[in-house]
Amino acid sequence: MSTSEPQRANGLLTFDWPLRVYYEDTDAGGIVFYANYLKFFERARTEWLRACGIDQRALAESDGVLFVVKRTALEYSAPARLDDVIHVMSRIERIGRASVDFHQEAWRDGTLLACGDIKVASVSAGAIRPVGIPASVLEGLRRGPQKSVSGNASTMAMPAPFKSSCSEKPM
């Protein structure tokens, strides 16, 4: 499958990354272990960057810049189970000089499973101190996904309007 075309929700660019729930993702109760949503959200952000033409390994090697998660806030609404196909919808809320705020939601068949607000910081690889996001990366983030990525990204209509934050109800 190929990456979704950039979509707009509430006027903002979004990205869909589908994934399947494996046995390793579940807990003793047979549902997705809560911390695994952080992994799912990380994968979706990574694939978004890749689709924007941003290679994180090359960025670290050539510019000495890494992206690290500075803050997360997650809310869980419904469980996912083994073999479910989940769509992680990601949207950039704000791009700062040295950070990017994402809003992400995990959906299954029109049901919101979890949502998260994640702040990712740009830091120097050596000192792990904040540094400005390189201009080429800012350009890619603002432009959005432009190319296919290997893997399982697909085109999918928004399952429901994005919340503006995890503390709000869907519009």
Catalytic residue list contains 25: no
> Which of these is catalytic: 16, 25, 27, 55?
27
153 CB burial (10 A radius; 0-12, 13-18, 19+): buried
Instruction: Decide: helix, strand or coil at residue 61.
Output: helix
- Residue 34, number of CB atoms within 10 A of its CB: 12
**Strands across the sheet with 111-124, in order?**
7-9, 12-20, 85-95, 99-108, 111-124, 65-76
Residues with a known catalytic role: 27
